[in-house]
C-alpha cells in the first residue's frame, strides 16, 4: 500500500505544517488498517497564526462588495458539483456513511453555496421612517470580523459549508477546526473555494483535537464570534468560555428526536420513515429518530414491520454500493452503543432487532453494529432519554396523541420531531405543541433543507439557527444609521413637536 498522504493546515493562503511538529492518522472506520491521511495535530501557536491571517484578510474582504464575494461562493458550488463523486468517496472513506449519503452531504454544500451566493445580492436590511422631519433611518447588516468555527464529524462537508459560506457572504473571515475524525472533507471544501478564487487568509484551517486546537480558537481575543456544532457537553464548555469574552456564540448540539405514529397513520410510510430516520448515517445524526412513540392501535403492526425492515438492512463498508448502512465513526462510538444496548436490556426493554457488534470476516477491522430496535420501551428509560448517536431506536407504546406529545417533549433536548397521521387537526396540534426546532408531518426527523432555519431548543441550542436566514442573522451584526439632513439639532424623544 502506498504511504498515506500528509495534509497540512491552511493558513494565510499557504499549506503549512503545525508548529507543534505533531501529526495524527485519520483512519477509515470501515477498515482501520486503511490510513486516509496524516493530518496536523495543531496547537495554540497555529491558531494564533491562523487568527492573525484572518484578521489581516478581514480588512480587505469586508470591503469587497457582497455580490462579488458571493460570486466566489457560486463558483465554489460549481466546482463542488464537478468534484462531487470524488469528494463523496473521500468522505465515505474517512467518515463511513454510505456513498448515497456522502453524495447528499456534498450536495448540501452545493445547495448552501447557491443559496448563499444569491444572498450576496440581498443581505436585506431595513429602511424605516424617522420620528423626526428631514431625517433618514436605516439598519444595515455589517460583518463581524474573524469567526471561529468548530465542526463535528457526522456531516463533514455540509456542516462546515453551513458555517463558512454565510460567513463569507456576510464579509467575515474565519478559522475552522474540523473534527479530528474527518478533516479531509473540510480541506476538500476549502480547496473548492481556493480554486474559485478566494483571497488568501479569508478561510483558514487548523486540524487537530478539541482541547489543543479548538479551545485556543474559542479563547482568542481577536476571534469575534464562535459557531460550534457537536455534543452538549462540549457546547457547554465552549458557551461558557465565549461568554467570558462576550463573543456571540452559536451552539448546535444533541437531540433525542421522536417520531410519533398515531393509529390513523399510513403504517408502511411510517415504517419507511422510521428506518431511514433511525438508521440513516448509522444513527449518527443530531436529528436521528431514536424514539418511536406509537399509539397502541398501531403498535403491533408497526413494531413487526419496523423490526423486519431493520433486519433486512445490509450493513457494510460505505464504498460498497450494496451497503445500506455503514460503520460507526470510531471505537468510542461503538463502545457507547454497546453500553447503551446493555443498559436497555437491564432496564427491561425488549430487543426486537439487532443488538450486536458485527466484527467477523471483512468487518473485523471496522466499527460495525447491527441496526437495533428495543420494544416495550418506557419514556423514562435511559435509552429513551440519553443521546446514543448510534443505530439504536426505542419504541414506546402510548394511549393518545396527548401522551405522545408529552413524551416527545419529555427530554432535555428539542431538535427535531415527526408525526405520522392522516388527521389534519392532530398534525397541526403537534406543530403547535411539540417543543422542538423542527417538526415534520408524515416524514421522518431527518432531511432538513438548507434554506430553512436549522436548530433546536433546550440542551440542543442556545437560540441561534443555522441554514438560510438563521445563518445570515448570526454572521452579520446590525448597524443602525441615522442621517439628519435638517441642518439643525433635532433631539429624538424630546423634540416631539408639541
Ligand atoms: P462528537 O461527540 O460529535 O464528537 P464533540 O462535541 O466531542 O462531538 O466534538 C465536536 C467538535 O468539538 C470537534 O471538532 C472536537 O474536536 C471539538 N472539541 C472537543 N472538545 C473541545 C474543547 N474543549 N474546546 C473546543 N473544541 C472542542
What are the residue boundaries of the structural domains of the chain, listed by start? 9-253+461-480, 257-441
Contact predicate 327/342, CB 8 Å: no
At residue 362 the predicted structure's pLDDT band, cuts being 50, 70 and 90, is confident
- Mean of pLDDT values over 153-163: 98
Q: What is the pLDDT of residues 85-133, one digit of tens each?
A: 999 999 999 999 999 999 999 999 999 999 999 999 999 999 999 999 9
Specify the residue with its C-alpha closest to ligand 1, atom 18: 210
- Mean of pLDDT values over 279-293: 98
Specify the residue with its C-alpha closest to ligand 1, atom 23: 211
Residue identified by cell 433536548 is 413
Q: In what order do the strands lie in the sheet with 126-129?
A: 126-129, 135-143, 476-484
Specify the residue with its C-alpha closest to ligand 1, atom 16: 210
Q: How many Å lie between the centroid of ligand 1 and the Cα of residue 207? A: 12
Answer whether residue 273 shows pLDDT above 70.
yes
pLDDT of residue 304: 98
Task: Tell whether pTM > 0.75.
Answer: yes
pLDDT of residue 1: 65
- Annotated active-site positions, please? 252, 286
Looking at the chain, the whole-number percentage of residues with pLDDT higher than 70 is: 100
Q: What is the pLDDT of residues 450-469, one digit of tens each?
A: 999 999 999 999 999 999 88
Answer whether residue 350 shows pLDDT above 80.
yes
User: Which atom of ligand 1 sits closest to the CA of residue 234?
Assistant: 6
Q: What is the pLDDT of residues 225-245, one digit of tens each?
A: 999 999 999 999 999 999 999
Domain 9-253+461-480 - what CATH class?
A: alpha beta
Q: How far is CA 363 from CA 282, 338, 369, 372, 432, in A?
A: 15, 16, 10, 17, 45
pLDDT of residue 268: 98
pLDDT of residue 470: 87
User: Which atom of ligand 1 sits closest to the CA of residue 237?
Assistant: 23
pLDDT of residue 374: 98
Looking at the chain, the whole-number percentage of residues with pLDDT higher than 90 is: 98
Average pLDDT, the chain: 97
Answer whether residue 158 shows pLDDT above 70.
yes
Q: How far is CA 186 from CA 39, 162, 178, in A?
A: 12, 12, 6
Ligand 1 surroundings by CB, under 6 angstroms = 150-153, 177, 179-180, 209-211, 214-215, 218, 230-231, 234, 237-238
Q: Does domain 257-441 have CATH number 3.40.309.10?
A: yes
Q: How many Å lie between the centroid of ligand 1 and the Cα of residue 8? A: 20
pLDDT of residue 498: 76
At residue 247 the predicted structure's pLDDT band, cuts being 50, 70 and 90, is very high
User: Which atom of ligand 1 sits closest to the CA of residue 217?
Assistant: 25
Alpha carbon distance 226, 248 (integer Å): 6
pLDDT of residue 333: 98
Amino acid at each position: 500500500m502506498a504511504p498515506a498522504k500528509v495534509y497540512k493546515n491552511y493558513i494565510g493562503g499557504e499549506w503549512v505544517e503545525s508548529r507543534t511538529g505533531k501529526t495524527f492518522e485519520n483512519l477509515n472506520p470501515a477498515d482501520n488498517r486503511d490510513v486516509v491521511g496524516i493530518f496536523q495535530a495543531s496547537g495554540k501557536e497555529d491558531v494564533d497564526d491562523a487568527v492573525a491571517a484572518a484578521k489581516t484578510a478581514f480588512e480587505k474582504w469586508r470591503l469587497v462588495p457582497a455580490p462579488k464575494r458571493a460570486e466566489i461562493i457560486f463558483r465554489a458550488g460549481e466546482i463542488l458539483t464537478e468534484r462531487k463523486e470524488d469528494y463523496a468517496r473521500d468522505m465515505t472513506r474517512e467518515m463511513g456513511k454510505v456513498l448515497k449519503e456522502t453524495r447528499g452531504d456534498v450536495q448540501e454544500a452545493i445547495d448552501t453555496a447557491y443559496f448563499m451566493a444569491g444572498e450576496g445580492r440581498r443581505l436585506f436590511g431595513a429602511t424605516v421612517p424617522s420620528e423626526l422631519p428631514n431625517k433618514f433611518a436605516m439598519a444595515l447588516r455589517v460583518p463581524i470580523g474573524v469567526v471561529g468555527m468548530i465542526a463535528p464529524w457526522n456531516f463533514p462537508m455540509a456542516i462546515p459549508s453551513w458555517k463558512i459560506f454565510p460567513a463569507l457572504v456576510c464579509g467575515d473571515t474565519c478559522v475552522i477546526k474540523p473534527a479530528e475524525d474527518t478533516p479531509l472533507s473540510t480541506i476538500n471544501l476549502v480547496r473548492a473555494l481556493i480554486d474559485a478564487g478566494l483571497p488568501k487568509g479569508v478561510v483558514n484551517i487548523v486540524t487537530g483535537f478539541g482541547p489543543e486546537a479548538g479551545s485556543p480558537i474559542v479563547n482568542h481575543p481577536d476571534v469575534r464570534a464562535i459557531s460550534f456544532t457537536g455534543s452538549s457537553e462540549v457546547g457547554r464548555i465552549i458557551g461558557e468560555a465565549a461568554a467570558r469574552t462576550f463573543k456571540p456564540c452559536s451552539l448546535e448540539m444533541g437531540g433525542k428526536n421522536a417520531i410519533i405514529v398515531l393509529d390513523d397513520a399510513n403504517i408502511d410510510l411510517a415504517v419507511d420513515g422510521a428506518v431511514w430516520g433511525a438508521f440513516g448515517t448509522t444513527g449518527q445524526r443530531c436529528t436521528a429518530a431514536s424514539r418511536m412513540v406509537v399509539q397502541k392501535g398501531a403498535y403491533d403492526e408497526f413494531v413487526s414491520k419496523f423490526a423486519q425492515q431493520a433486519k433486512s438492512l445490509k450493513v457494510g463498508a460505505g464504498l460498497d454500493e450494496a451497503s445500506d448502512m455503514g460503520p460507526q465513526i470510531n471505537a468510542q462510538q461503538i463502545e457507547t452503543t454497546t453500553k447503551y444496548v446493555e443498559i436497555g436490556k437491564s432496564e427491561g426493554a425488549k430487543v426486537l432487532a439487532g443488538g450486536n457488534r458485527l466484527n467477523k470476516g471483512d468487518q473485523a477491522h471496522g466499527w460495525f453494529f447491527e441496526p437495533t430496535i428495543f420494544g416495550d420501551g418506557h419514556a423514562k428509560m435511559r435509552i429513551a432519554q440519553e443521546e446514543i448517536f448510534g443505530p439504536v431506536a426505542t419504541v414506546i407504546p402510548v394511549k393518545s396523541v396527548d401522551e405522545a406529545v408529552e413524551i416527545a417533549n419529555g427530554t432535555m433536548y428539542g431538535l427535531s420531531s415527526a408525526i405520522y397521521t392522516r388527521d389534519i387537526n392532530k398534525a397541526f396540534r403537534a406543530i403547535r405543541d411539540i417543543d422542538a426546532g423542527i417538526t415534520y408531518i408524515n416524514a421522518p426527523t431527518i432531511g432538513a433543507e438548507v434554506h430553512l432555519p436549522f436548530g433546536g431548543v433546550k440542551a440542543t441550542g442556545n437560540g441561534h439557527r443555522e441554514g438560510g436566514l438563521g445563518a445570515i442573522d448570526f454572521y452579520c451584526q446590525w448597524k443602525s444609521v441615522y442621517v439628519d439632513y435638517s441642518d439643525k439639532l433635532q433631539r429624538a424623544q424630546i423634540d416631539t413637536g408639541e
